[in-house]
Amino acid sequence: MNNRISFDKETPWDREIGDEKSNFRFNIITMLVYIVGIVLIVQLFNLQVVNGESYREQSNTRLSRVSSIQAARGSIYDRSGNELAGVKTQNDVEMYKTNISNDELNNAILNLINLLEQHQITVEDTFPIKINPFEFTIEGEELTKWKKKYKIDEDAKAETAFYKFKDKYEISTDNVDEIRKILILRYKITTTGYSATKSITIATDVNEEIVAQISERNSDFPGISIETSASRTYLAGNLAAHVVGYTGKIKEEDYKEQKDIYDIDDVVGKTGIESLFEEQLRGQDGEKQVEMSVDGTITGEQVTENAIAGNDIILTIDSNLQQVTQTSLETCINKIKAGGFSERYDAQGGAAVVMDVNTGEVLSTASYPTYEPQWFVGGISQENWAYLRDDERHPQLNKAIQATYEPGSIFKMVTGIAGLESGAITPKEKIRDTGIYKKYNKEWKCWLYTDYHRGHGYLNVTQALQHSCNYFFYETGDRMGIDTLSKYALHFGLGKKTGIELPSEKSGDVESRETYAKIWNGKHIGPGDVLNASIGQGNNNFTPMQIAKYISSIANGGTVVDPTIIKSILNSDGTEQPREEIESYTNEKLGLETTDDGIEISAQSIAIAKEGMRMAASEAGGTAYKVFKNFNIEVAGKTGSAEVPGTDAFGNDKVNAWFVCFAPYEKPEVAVVVMIENGGHGNYAAEVARDVLTQYFGMNSTTDVNESLLAIPYIEQIR
């Protein structure tokens, strides 16, 4: 018999106790719901009945808008921290839409324009009707479309259209001058639009007096406020202008594509570093909540999202060296034009590049003529724009990377190296220059051939470079052929983009079978064309930056460098971007791909080319010896003079002048490339390189090089 009591089975007593607990919880929850409901009803009654009228009055007289906080644009510095492009804080006049009458709006506009005029500030004027006398500022099809858009009769005169806009905007004054002042902004509002949350900019960088007037007389300027912004400033003037670039208002088509990033009045990079690194420089705008009354009076502000400043770009440029490069290039061009050398040429412009031969860093680069980026801040003047647009020397063009030129004799190191590497010539082999290269039933003269001189005689490759003997390189090119020549030219980076971190770089051309066929409609390259290519003529066209890469690669012993102008990028939080990220960013922006041709040039061939360049600049008889004969550092260089079609203003055949060099010879550090459009002779351009090297090595020159103005140059047009 089992006498144990089981506790597993539920009894009626257990069920009664559970039901009582459940009912208690339910009653508590019900009471809480009733209490909360009563509280809400009381609060609602208080809001709608007791204080309803007061709250409705406040609601009807208060507006709230979200305003953008402009991020400070990142700065651009040289390698030593000198600011090339920075920002300054400025006060801008903005206008928002408010709940006021047309009459109040018109009076506010008139008050504002009168105030700005007192301080010689003009407002952007796009209203296409002038007064005194009445006339349209547009004509033809543009005027017809404009009339149709604003529902004005096709044959309506300017005065009729003017008063139609007066009526449209309910302008009460009869003073014609005042009417037009009001129309300027009313028309701007119509064409660009504004709202209670989105303003239009009326004036930028206004002085403190205007700020005080608008703040103190707030009732006279409903909807008008002062916003603080950061404006671009270029304190360095035209220093490295083509590298730094400039900023300007975003184009309408660009804005439409990037509305999620920009506002219609935003300023963006247009050229140079400003353009390519726009995403890095622009930063991220913040937001603030602005409370104001319906008449536009601001009653409170609260920042809801902080602005993040743009990143800073540090360039490889050295400001002191850059200044010397620019000044010397301009001085040399003007000296050539004035006949300061032995002949007078109508030199038009030029470019120069100074490069670290071991790293590829660009220490300075100049393009002449130039301009000032500051001209574009706040809108460029008509005078400055006319200069940039109409000057035939193309001041906006960065000639170091955006213009290509036949290299002339500075190409001869390629020909010599290609000949040595291919076995077409040997280091000790001498070729006799008789003055005229006769082959294929044609004749090609060496530059030295004259009535009293028959050529250079027997020369090896280093001597041929020293004296820039055309005959020697005609023979070398003929022996090896165009395929070998073009292969080595491409290896040194000629005829293709260098990848420098700047927009709109040109690739140029290396003479080859393909290039010749492309330019001459499928024709096959002939032996005479190969001879011309061997001395840097024909379809060889390179940028000065490509030439700097080529000379640096010879100077450092044969390692082909990758030119760069970016030293580093500093994020807004002070951290430095990894080099790999910078390269990835620029490669994507420029659409670049890295390739390896697998060519390795022997140390002997490089040494021979370097020795020939040394002899050209540092030994008597060299084509640049006169310029460097008293120089404190041994320089290796090469002159080049390349014919271009036409004659100049002085009746001379047009000849572009090149000079390239590196120094010191024994342990190279820096390469200099100078190109002067219609500069006449390569040794004229060498003066720029001498000035640059003097600055680079910190030398105080004690002996000036004085050239006889009566001397007859011993170099010819092609060398």
Nearest-CA neighbor of 242 among 385, 399, 392, 384?
399
User: Residue 631, by phi and psi: left (phi above 0), alpha (psi -120 to 50) or beta?
Assistant: beta
CB 90 within 8 A of CB 228: yes
Rounded to a whole number of angstroms, the CA Rg of the chain reads 37
Q: What CA–CA distance (Å, rounded) separates 58 from 408? A: 81
* Positive/negative CA dihedral, 660, 357, 553, 514: negative
- State the pLDDT confidence band at 62, using cuts at 50, 70 and 90: low
pLDDT digits (tens, 9 = 90+) for 396-413: 999 999 999 999 999 999
Scan for tokens 């912004």, then name that residue: 229
In the predicted structure, residue 385 carries a pLDDT above the cut 60: yes
Question: Per mean pLDDT, which range of 6-10, 455-459, 553-557, 670-674 is the poorest?
Answer: 6-10
pLDDT, tens only, 669-712? 999 999 999 999 999 999 999 999 999 999 744 444 343 333 33
Phi/psi of residue 687, each to 5°? -60, -35
List pLDDT tens digits, range 74-113.
Answer: 999 999 999 999 998 889 998 988 888 999 999 999 999 9
The CA dihedral of 101, 103, 109, 113, to the nearest 10 degrees, is -170
User: Strand 312-315 and strand 76-77: pairing?
Assistant: parallel
Structure tokens at 86: 């920075």
> How high is the pLDDT of residue 5?
43
Of 641, 627, 635, give the one whose Cα is nearest residue 682.
Answer: 641
369: cis peptide before it, omega within 30°? yes
pTM for the structure as a whole: 0.80
Rounded Cα gap, residues 601 and 614, in angstroms:
19
Contact 295, 100 (CB under 8 A): yes
The CA distance from 707 to 176, in Å, is 68
How many whole angstroms separate alpha carbon 691 and alpha carbon 672?
10
- In the chain, the N- to C-terminal Cα span, in Å, equals 130
Q: Report the pLDDT averaged over residues 219-234.
A: 87
By the 8 A CB rule, do 321 and 364 touch? yes
What are the distances in angstroms from CA 53 to CA 57, 58, 88, 581? 6, 9, 48, 61
The residue that leads in pLDDT, 700 or 122, is 122
What phi and psi values does residue 333 have, to the nearest 5 degrees? -60, -45
Around Cβ 255, how many Cβ atoms within 10 Å? 17
Residue 297: CB partners within 8 Å, gap ≥ 6? 218, 219, 222
CA-CA distance, 367 to 353, in Å (whole number)? 9
Residues belonging to the chain: 719
- pLDDT of 52 reads 59
How high is the pLDDT of residue 265?
Answer: 78
Give 358's contacts (C-beta < 8 A, 6+ positions apart): 552, 556, 561, 668, 669
Kind and range of the H or E run holding 325: helix 319-337
Nearest alpha carbon to residue 354 among 114, 552, 593: 552
pLDDT band at 554 (very low <50, low <70, confident <90, very high): very high
Give the pLDDT of residue 2: 45
Distance (Å, whole) CA 348 – CA 656: 10
What's the average model confidence in pLDDT over 286-305?
A: 70
The encoded tokens of residue 336 equal 């050539």
pLDDT at 9 over 60: no
**What is the rounded distance in angstroms from the CA atom of residue 129 to the CA atom of residue 158?**
6
**Residue 707 confidence (pLDDT):** 37
**Of 216, 208, 225, 236, residue with least CA distance to 90:** 208
Give the position of tokens 């006398």.
Answer: 133
Contact 167, 174 (CB under 8 A): no
Rounded to whole angstroms, how far apart are CA atoms 652 and 646? 9
- Per-residue pLDDT band at 218 (split at 50, 70, 90): confident
Residue 719 has pLDDT above 80, yes or no: no
Tell me, what amino acid is at 344? R
| Rounded to 5°, angle at Cα 215 from 214 and 219 | 75
Give per-residue pLDDT as tens, 30-43.
788 778 778 777 77
CB 243 within 8 A of CB 500: no
Q: Helix (H, G, I), strand (E, B), or coil: what is residue 90? A: strand
Q: Are strands 312-315 and 566-570 parallel, antiparallel or unpaired?
A: antiparallel
Give the chain's mean pLDDT: 89
